[in-house]
Structure 1
């Protein structure tokens, strides 16, 4: 990781301080390459150095059954061509973590923010007990040293120089001598990919990729995730949401037919008893200070927050685009009246509601 970050710094990367990694250190995550990419740049095509994600690898005869009893999604039937979202809940059904999950012949992988990986990995380890399952930090493996995120109209053609066959549909994958290529949720009408590979390969492919695609860091990838409507639980939002509040079941992240897991009863009750009163939607806010965990307020009810920022990223034009979880009534109000919902307080920056890339449950709205 250090050599890769040093390489990126030489290319003009701008590091940011996150979770104890001060500006300018070899371990600091990369925000961008001097300026934030805009949505039109992402739509045309981009490659992002993703340096803020961790990776847990699990091996052993019982690993699928163990995880099947811990996560919101079906792990036992996960095959080597699939990629899935999955949640890890408290007994009260609140999300401690959200994962991008895939497997190969020997290992199941869980991708999550690097900042919360140690605590989540330790918690999972506590419940292994007698199961034949071993956990390790898979981001240290040579094959997973670097994660590149690609998307936009030009991304697939650029990747074809190294991959003779690309994953055909969202949430699928291919393995290749040069690494693992995951196709994740589409954004802006184009495919998006994560390419996990060695630092040596990444250094070789970065120059030709950046000749064709706009180069970005974590901010660019997060902006594309936000516009794909894909939430990620971070340290600021742990234990704040049941999965449906962040649309997780709409994204295939919850399997309601599988057996028990922590919080399963609460999650099922929210689904079948019609008690869900909150959803996550896409917004833009002309305030560069917006952060995950920040609160939103309806002008019509200024005393109590109506929602919370789930994920936020600079949009390249001075503001922030974000996924926000809020009361359904506030979503309706804010979508129909400009300035009806604001950030930080009822007098804060106005929240502009943008179209979601998928339809929220019609029974809700």
Structure 2
């Protein structure tokens, strides 16, 4: 059945961002709205990814298109990664920082034709586009919201045969991308040993191909993709954690999202100083905690059993886990991992069970 991509599994509830005390009604009305809280996927939705293959419409993302003669050089001066030399076969993870080196957004960047595309959390798309546009000045570059014309689909598991019916060639490595008549196909980091791809293309084109996917793959909730991103150890900046972390705190240096040899960008001095002066005392780890997404949210603070008076970390991303509870990516003081227990929300809150990341972290001095 050709199911419209705009329809997600289940009926999500939208959690608005909390406005500070004293915020006017008008200001509250225009405050950013957080992403929908997606219902817990059914067991067979998780199983489909692990045992066979699945696809999922990813309504949690927005797309910004950058066009113009200076688009690549402009973005090169704004993001943590190299866009000046971005070729047609490569996608790159990047961060967008404030002047203080704190992440305003995380983005996946790639080139399609003369356009550079930026995939960003849907709740940040408008703010990121507006802020970037403020700095275009005399550059020949234009930023537009392409979310309405494009669909984003995630595929995971044994999906290569299904994709081969759509694309003439498939990406053979992580962050390799191919362009075809149906759009762009990008391989992203594996999760639990399963292949993962992002397919971004015109909505009408992708919807026309859905019957082919439905014959070979199970359609599952976009919440499964959030879980896979967490198990891949790849943090995503969303509205509740804007300006909380320098890139190294969310392992972006390890994930290849920071180019330390490129020219300046907002916050570059802070990011470089953290890297070369041995001041990285906080990292992102993988964990599981009892609870549901109604109470386990990005931005929630963590507390250590030996120092209950002050937080030792923060939840970056959270997703329902198939075995129960919630899987998390948490930014945390490295010292807090050396002993004792870490708890969600308060020193007597649920204890985190830490899991191994799928990649190694450098030894901090």
The alignment's TM-score, normalised by the length of structure 2, stands at 0.88
Work out which of the residue numbers 42, 45, 48 in structure 1 matches 2:49: 42
Conserved? CA contact 1:36–1:220, under 8 Å: no
Aligned residue in 2 for 1:148: 153
Deviations along 1:282-309, one digit per CA (max 9) or x if unpaired, are: 1111111211101111111111111100
Conserved? CA contact 1:4–1:199, under 8 Å: no
d(CA) in 1 for partners of 2:356, 2:195: 19
- In structure 1, the gaps of 5 or more residues are 21-27
d(CA) in 1 for partners of 2:129, 2:43: 32
d(CA) in 2 for partners of 1:36, 1:295: 29
Work out which of the residue numbers 50, 59, 66 in structure 2 matches 1:51: 59
Structure 2 counterpart SS, 1:303: strand
Aligned residue in 1 for 2:29: none
Work out which of the residue numbers 241, 244, 251 in structure 2 matches 1:247: 251
d(CA) in 2 for partners of 1:356, 1:211: 34
Conserved? CA contact 1:291–1:312, under 8 Å: yes
- C-alpha spacing 1:33/1:247, structure 2 compared with 1 (3 Å): closer
- C-alpha spacing 1:72/1:316, structure 2 compared with 1 (3 Å): same
Aligned residue in 2 for 1:341: 342
Conserved? CA contact 1:30–1:217, under 8 Å: no
- C-alpha spacing 1:14/1:30, structure 2 compared with 1 (3 Å): farther
d(CA) in 1 for partners of 2:54, 2:162: 10
Q: Which runs of 4+ in 1 moved over 6 A?
A: none
Question: By how many angstroms is 1:95 displaced?
Answer: 0.4
- C-alpha spacing 1:282/1:39, structure 2 compared with 1 (3 Å): farther
Aligned residue in 2 for 1:24: none
User: Within 5 Å, which residues of 2 pair with 1:194-233?
Assistant: 194-233=198-237
d(CA) in 2 for partners of 1:210, 1:328: 45
Conserved? CA contact 1:38–1:315, under 8 Å: no
User: Within 5 Å, which residues of 2 pair with 1:68-87?
Assistant: 68-87=76-95
Structure 2 counterpart SS, 1:46: strand
- In structure 2, the gaps of 5 or more residues are 17-34
Structure 1 counterpart SS, 2:307: coil
Aligned residue in 2 for 1:285: 289
What's the Cα RMSD here?
Answer: 2.1
* 1:114 paired to 2:122: yes
d(CA) in 2 for partners of 1:308, 1:30: 19
Question: By how many angstroms is 1:346 displaced?
Answer: 1.1
- C-alpha spacing 1:51/1:220, structure 2 compared with 1 (3 Å): same
Question: By how many angstroms is 1:213 displaced?
Answer: 3.2
Instruction: Tell me the number of residue pairs that the alignment of Structure 1 and Structure 2 aligns.
Output: 342
d(CA) in 2 for partners of 1:29, 1:236: 12
Question: By how many angstroms is 1:29 displaced?
Answer: 6.0
d(CA) in 2 for partners of 1:227, 1:258: 30
Work out which of the residue numbers 67, 70, 86 in structure 1 matches 2:75: 67
Aligned residue in 1 for 2:12: 16
Aligned residue in 2 for 1:94: 102
Structure 1 counterpart SS, 2:351: strand
Structure 2 counterpart SS, 1:71: coil
Work out which of the residue numbers 173, 183, 197 in structure 2 matches 1:193: 197
Question: By how many angstroms is 1:5 displaced?
Answer: 4.7
- C-alpha spacing 1:15/1:198, structure 2 compared with 1 (3 Å): farther
d(CA) in 2 for partners of 1:302, 1:30: 29
Aligned residue in 1 for 2:315: 309
Deviations along 1:14-71, one digit per CA (max 9) or x if unpaired, are: 1313367xxxxxxx96936963667554323321110011111011111111111111
Structure 2 counterpart SS, 1:304: strand
- C-alpha spacing 1:117/1:183, structure 2 compared with 1 (3 Å): same
d(CA) in 2 for partners of 1:158, 1:227: 24
